[in-house]
Structure 1
Amino acid sequence: MLYRLIICLSLISSAFCNAPKLKVVATFSILGDLIRQVGGVDVEVNFIVPESADPHVYQPTPQDAAMLAKAELVFINGLDFEGWLERLIANSGYTGEVITASAKVKPRILVNSKGETVDDPHAWHCVKNAMLYVECIADALIAARPSLKDKILKNKETYLNELIKLEEWVQAQYQRFPAARRLVVTTHDAFWYYGDAYNITFLSPVGISTDAEPSAAAVANLIKDIRTKNIRAVFIESLSSRKLIVEIAAEAGVNVDGTLYADSLSASHQTASPAQSYVAMIRHNTQEIVKGLDS
């Protein structure tokens, strides 16, 4: 009798331990990493936009629709970032919840060239905003799989502590630079939240979306700013063409300092991949900017 009881308990334990993972789809790699950190080994996370593709102008594939159809939960950034998502969901037949990870963030609101009000979607570049993403992610994962509550809350606490230390580290890197020197040029207007958090002014030839076309006046004004304000921190972004920024830097008589990651992590399969996680991306970008400000 005791032997049978042990066998039954063993089978129940085995079934519990081998419970299927919660299948989650995120729209892009940065969001996918935040979900992985909170969900841990019990959550299977896939993301739609590969690291090599630009989320602003991404064209979904039939494979994306198939992946979405199998998901139990879908996470998006929101803030007008995934303009292609509604069509993809319709094509996939997905009928589950769509969670907006940025729901607790206070967005930067802009007016585009058509006079329309739009949100700046790049909220994750402020580490404190990423903490708000983590809160939303944890709440959604627990609601979807209550049996994982204790594990998810533990993962959340561990990761939030890591982000708190990251925030303190980033703040410390800029203490020796007066505000007047904290001037950085990038490919598009993706780093406002970072700049607002760490008192850095970012200048760029185009707006918040990479599909915008720079005007001749905007380029001329940027070249003038680089010259007159003695800006030395000039960067390309990992998903953007080098051509425009290289031409601007050459005209202004400065060098391009390196690469920043704005809308995607770096590919995990690459040997030299400095931004394979959210934390690594923030550290890499900060170290690059500091080197640029020091030049």
Structure 2
Amino acid sequence: MKKRFVSIVALAAICLLAACGNDKTNGETKDKVQVTTTTGQVADAVKSVGADKVEVVSLMGPGVDPHLYQASQGDIQKLNKADIIFYSGLHLEGKMGEIFEKMDDDKPTVAVADSIPESKLLSADGSTSHDPHVWFDIQAWLYVVDSIEQELTKLSPENEKLFKENASAYKKELEEMDQYAKEQIEMIPEESRVLVTAHDAFKYFGHAYGLEVMGLQGLSTDSEYGLKDVQELVNTLVKRNIKAVFIESSISERSINAVVEGAMKQNHQVVIGGELFSDAMGDEGTDEGTYIGMFKHNVDTIVSSLK
């Protein structure tokens, strides 16, 4: 009962802020579309399409796990100041769902994954819900770029031509990266195309490029794992002679280290193949701080370790 009371109070505060947080100051209209996003992947797509016609603020930076993220008071203010909010969707930002629902009455609040045809979405194991890690299938992510272009055009129709040109150029880069990934993954011997990570974030990646994917935790890092889960994964590594596993930038290494240690106890040597970017991208200003740079880093790290 107490938790429900706190939730109601929090939502009331959000509504109050939304009422008074209109970002048109002193009657002045901003030149740029003010955008607030959740993840870095979504922010990068908005920046690529909007260029200098948008001002983008991303709530979740490098190393941040969106599954467990809880909005701060400062985040609520950033959301209120936006002309439009883009978030990933499919319950990726699970703890922020109520906030987006409330704010949708006040301004466009867009779950970009909703633009992807259901035929391209993968189901969560043993569930009727969909896997939210859609950015690891570039062919699915192309729909997201189109959706962002359309939404920005609604707010700034005078820039329609620019948005369309930018989206087209960005999609061409994405197609090139998709082809690069396919060519590189082909270099891995077929029997070695097994990707083992801390949580099940790479299902789309595996589906797109022919890799078998294993995660210690489920789709969300909010799910628990125990000694039984660790032992089952260890047994699989030993049985199939899998030599490398991968850590993730937004998740503690503890779970994967437990797997490595468990394999050693069975006289099977497993190495950490490298760090992958899963739910978060790299530092701003680096190649890995962009969607394409992040994707290339992951491909190169996986191939170099499994090849």
Shared fold, TM over 0.5: yes
Give TM-score, length-normalised by structure 1: 0.86
Residue 119 of structure 2 corresponds to residue 119 of structure 1:
no
Is the contact between residue 124 and residue 219 of structure 2 (CA under 8 Å) also seen in structure 1? no
1:10 maps to what in 2?
none
Larger CA deviation: 233-242 vs 90-99: 90-99
Q: Give the number of aligned pairs.
A: 271
Q: How many angstroms apart in 1 are the aligned matches of 2:214 and 2:130?
A: 18
Give the match's secondary structure for 1:205: strand
Who wins on radius of gyration, i.e. which is larger? 1
Is the contact between residue 181 and residue 293 of structure 1 (CA under 8 Å) also seen in structure 2? yes
Is the contact between residue 25 and residue 45 of structure 1 (CA under 8 Å) also seen in structure 2? yes
Give the match's secondary structure for 1:173: helix
Residue 193 of structure 2 corresponds to residue 182 of structure 1:
yes
1:285 maps to what in 2?
298
Q: 1:80 Cα shift?
A: 1.4
Q: How many angstroms apart in 1 are the aligned matches of 2:103 and 2:133?
A: 26
Write the deviation string for residues 96-154 of structure 1: whole angstroms up to 9, x where unpaired: 01112112323212256xxx532210010111112111111111111121011011011
Of 121, 136, 142, the residue aligned with 1:107 is 121
Q: 1:250 Cα shift?
A: 2.4
Q: How many angstroms apart in 2 are the aligned matches of 1:96 and 1:244?
A: 40
Map 1:22-37; keep pairs closer than 5 Å.
22-37=33-48
Larger CA deviation: 84-93 vs 68-77: 84-93
Is the contact between residue 199 and residue 215 of structure 2 (CA under 8 Å) also seen in structure 1? yes
Give TM-score, length-normalised by structure 2: 0.83
Q: 1:52 Cα shift?
A: 3.1
Q: How many angstroms apart in 1 are the aligned matches of 2:40 and 2:105?
A: 20
Of 243, 248, 251, the residue aligned with 1:237 is 248
1:169 maps to what in 2?
180
2:23 maps to what in 1?
none
Is the contact between residue 65 and residue 92 of structure 1 (CA under 8 Å) also seen in structure 2? no
Q: How many angstroms apart in 2 are the aligned matches of 1:19 and 1:205?
A: 47
Q: How many angstroms apart in 2 are the aligned matches of 1:222 and 1:215?
A: 11
Taking every aligned residue pair, what percent have the same amino acid on both sides? 29
Using a 3 Å threshold, how does the CA distance of structure 1 residues 41 and 53 change in structure 2: closer, same or farther?
same
User: Bigger relative contact order, structure 1 or 2, given CA contacts below 8 A and separation 6+?
Assistant: 2
Is the contact between residue 36 and residue 45 of structure 1 (CA under 8 Å) also seen in structure 2? yes
For the aligned residues, what is the CA RMSD?
1.9
Of 271, 274, 296, the residue aligned with 1:255 is 271
Residue 52 of structure 2 corresponds to residue 41 of structure 1:
yes
Q: Which has the higher helix share?
A: 2
Map 1:1-295; keep pairs closer than 5 Å.
20-89=31-100, 95-105=106-116, 106-110=120-124, 117-252=128-263, 253-268=269-284, 273=286, 275-294=288-307
Q: 1:30 Cα shift?
A: 1.2
Is the contact between residue 68 and residue 89 of structure 1 (CA under 8 Å) also seen in structure 2? no
